[in-house]
Amino acid sequence: MTAALRTVSLEDVAKEAGVSIMTVSRAFRRPEALSEDTLSRVLQAADALGYVPNQIASGLRSRRSQTIACVIPTISSSVYANVVQGLSDAITADGYSLVLGTSNYGVDEERRVMTSLLGYRPEAVVLAGGDHRPELTRLVTRLKAPLVEIWELVPKPLDMNVGFSNHAAGAAIVEHLIRMGSRRIALMTIRAEHARARARRIAYEAAAARLGHEPIVVTSELSIEGGRRGMAMLRARHPDVDGVFCVSDSIALGAMLKANEIGWSVPDEIAIAGFGDFDIARHIPPGLTTVRVPEARVGQVAGEMIMSRLLRRPEGPYTVDVGFEVVARGSTNRNPMKRVRR
């Protein structure tokens, strides 16, 4: 067991500078309250000793941990990685730090991890989505701290909410498929559907009903390989479809590659749409039509709303819809007159 070593404290700096510890404390927190002479002497002493203010002691006494707790499903997904990046950038300027946990898409794990993070007495809490264990809901609402649910717009936010409507996005992309000429559209989704995928499915089902056909749903895994398999299944079971909405770009990419292999012509025989606008989507011929969500902006707005509540005006918007954009590319471009968007 490594011995826990003492680091430089206010007292050490105070001795070095020949002042009281309170004066040193003020040198960092309210420098304008000190005389120029004292201030420079203190800062010089602090610098010489390599003093770094102890946030733990400060947090205990002042009840301000300068910390924000965030639990997301996973970091290994560019979606959440970008959200976290935006969040982190938005709060560091004000001296706040991010304490991060991952739930691996499980509500029990989310509760466990966030409960443990609450031990650090974060001044604000960020959770993904709107589906949480009631025990966790009780715990975080009782904190009376700013709380943001991110990524999807939820029906009844606990406090603040930043994201976009998966239902609207699903409806928009299926609408796009229809407008481009598809009349029999399938949905390719994932086995264990979470709230996000479910909302997209519901929008799809409504559209299928309007087209006058039963929903055609293929389930697979969330990967390129999953998309390939899904496409093979679709070809075998429903060769009559002329459009497919994949709930993720990974799946759509796999579907597109598989279609190419088996000679199912995209977009002439089958149009393909994805979700996420991954980097590759615009580059893979003939270009993948998809939905783009401003990921980093979700985190950034969440961070700004939190900091606004913590430091500035007490009130602001509680729900922000960051929107989405249907990016039309070649994979749905049935009309040879229209140019492919790059």
Partner DNA sequence: ATCTTCGCTGTTATCGTTAACAGAGACGGC
Partner DNA sequence: GCCGTCTCTGTTAACGATAACAGCGAAGAT
Give the footprint of DNA on residues 37-76 (CB under 7 A): 37-39, 53-54, 57-58, 60-63
Tell me the β-bridge partners of 127: 71, 149
Q: Which residues between 197 and 256 bind a copy of itself (CB under 8 A)?
A: 223-225, 228, 250, 253-254
Q: Cβ of residue 246: shortest distance to a copy of itself, in angstroms? A: 14
Contact between 116 and DNA (CB under 7 A)? Answer: no
Q: Show the binding pattern over residues 135-154: x = contacts a copy of itself (CB under 8 A), - = does not.
A: ---xx--xxxxx--------
> Percent helix, strand, coil in the chain (nearest 5)?
45, 15, 35
Q: CA-to-CA distance for 126 and 149, rounded, in angstroms?
A: 6
Tell me the β-bridge partners of 219: 189
Contact between 99 and a copy of itself (CB under 8 A)? Answer: yes
Q: Cβ of residue 327: shortest distance to a copy of itself, in angstroms? A: 15
Q: Cβ of residue 64: shortest distance to DNA, in angstroms? A: 7
254 binds, options DNA, a copy of itself, none, Cβ within 5 to 8 A by partner type: a copy of itself
DSSP single-letter state for residue 181: T
Total site size for DNA, rule CB under 7 A: 28
Nearer CB in complex with DNA: 1/337: 1
Written as one letter, the residue type at 143 is L
Total site size for a copy of itself, rule CB under 8 A: 76
Nearer CB in complex with a copy of itself: 30/63: 63
Tokens of 105: 């898409």
- Crossing angle between the packed helical segments 21-29 and 10-17, to the nearest 10 degrees: 110
Q: Cβ of residue 145: shortest distance to DNA, in angstroms? A: 14
Tokens of 297: 């902006």
Nearer CB in complex with a copy of itself: 267/287: 287
CA distances from 279 to 26, 197, 250, 253, 271 (A): 49, 21, 11, 11, 20
Nearer CB in complex with DNA: 27/208: 27
Considering only residues 1, 3, 6, 155, which one is a binding residue for DNA as defined by CB under 7 A? Answer: 6
Contact between 44 and a copy of itself (CB under 8 A)? Answer: no
Nearer CB in complex with a copy of itself: 104/335: 104
CB atoms under 10 Å from CB of 87, counted, come to: 28
Give the strand pairing for 290-292 and 271-273.
unpaired
SS3 70: strand
Q: CA-to-CA distance for 197 and 180, rounded, in angstroms?
A: 23
Q: Which residues between 11 and 30 bind DNA (CB under 7 A)?
A: 11, 19-23, 25-26, 28-29
Q: CA-to-CA distance for 341 and 332, rounded, in angstroms?
A: 11
The one segment of 35-43, 68-76, 153-161, 176-184 that binds DNA by CB under 7 A: 35-43
SS3 289: strand
10 binds, options DNA, a copy of itself, none, Cβ within 5 to 8 A by partner type: DNA
Q: Which residues between 275 and 304 bind a copy of itself (CB under 8 A)?
A: 279-280, 283-285, 296
The beta strand positions in the chain, using DSSP E, are 67-72, 97-102, 124-128, 147-152, 160-164, 185-190, 216-220, 243-246, 271-273, 290-292, 319-321, 325-327
Residues that bind DNA (CB under 7 A): 6-7, 9-11, 19-23, 25-26, 28-29, 33-35, 37-39, 53-54, 57-58, 60-63
